[in-house]
Amino acid sequence: MPTEDFSLRLYGRAKGHALKPRQAKLVDELLPGLGLPPDISARSDIVPDEKPLWLEIGFGGAEHLIAQARQNPDVRLIGIEPYLNGVAKALAGIEDFDLKNVLLERGDARLILQSMPDAILDRVFILYPDPWPKKRHHKRRLVQPDFVAELARLIRPGGCLRFASDIDHYQAWALARILDSDHFDWTAERADDWRMAPDDHFPTRYEGKAKKAGRPCVYLDFVRND
């Protein structure tokens, strides 16, 4: 995978409080064996048995990633997260539940995805990304036209993209830019389709805090068209 120093391009923290001894050991010993193949030329390099391949970008505390992996043992999940403490939490979940269907990459998803071949993914989750609320920081938001184009390249026709946020102006921002790409169809038919959490969704700790604070969460589901 890319070896560039992603901190040069990535906004926000890459590391928080010091890792606990168990977490540090998992990062040193378990994480190296869970990365993507260094040279991915085909989908079979990741899923030789042709299982569905899902990706979560910015999995935070890994609550959703681990829950999806446990619920869907026949799916291979990739988690990408720049924040070391979040990666450590994911590793703890992988060990605790003896999960065999999760791959992890610590870094900038924008760089990592560039090395992946076309139409490799069946599903992508982007849940509660940093909204960068100040207008002068909007350029730092993950959902930009070029990034949406990259997702369209990677997601198979008929594959799914889910974006969730509790920030109203980022909800509108993401919806507009994803639909402007012409590669995705919004699946919502009525308000409850985006106001209510989908049946296959697993809440995150951040989501719980947002709801407790009275911020409505929105779930935008899209399908990659032909």
pLDDT of 81-90, one tens digit each? 999 999 999 9
CATH no. for 6-224: 3.40.50.150
Structure tokens at 22: 């168990």
Confidence of residue 24 (pLDDT cuts 50, 70, 90): very high
In whole angstroms, how far apart are CA 148 and each of 101, 142, 163, 164, 182? Answer: 26, 9, 12, 15, 10
Residue 184 has pLDDT above 50, yes or no: yes
Residue 9 has pLDDT above 60, yes or no: no
Confidence of residue 5 (pLDDT cuts 50, 70, 90): very low
Residue 175 has pLDDT above 90, yes or no: yes
Known catalytic residues? 130
User: Which residue would you say has higher pLDDT here, 10 or 17?
Assistant: 17
Beta pairing class for 218-224 and 184-186? antiparallel
% of the chain exceeding 90 in pLDDT: 90
Residue 154 has pLDDT above 80, yes or no: yes
Mean local confidence (pLDDT), 29-55: 95
Q: What is the pLDDT of residue 17?
A: 75
- Minimum mean pLDDT range among 2-16, 85-99, 102-116, 206-220: 2-16
Confidence of residue 15 (pLDDT cuts 50, 70, 90): low
Nearest-angstrom CA–CA distance, 83 and 89: 10
In whole angstroms, how far apart are CA 120 and each of 104, 147, 153, 202? Answer: 16, 16, 9, 24
The structure tokens 């069946």 sit at 122
pTM higher than 0.75: yes
DSSP letter string over the chain?
---S-GGGT--S-S--SPPPHHHHHHHHHTGGGGSPPSS--SGGGT-TT---EEEEES-TTSHHHHHHHHH-TTSEEEEE-S-HHHHHHHHHHHHHTT--SEEEE-S-HHHHHHTSPTT-EEEEEEES-----SGGGGGG-S--HHHHHHHHHHEEEEEEEEEEES-HHHHHHHHHHHHHTSSEEE---STHHHHSPPTT----HHHHHHHHTT---EEEEEEE--
Q: What is the pLDDT of residue 34?
A: 97
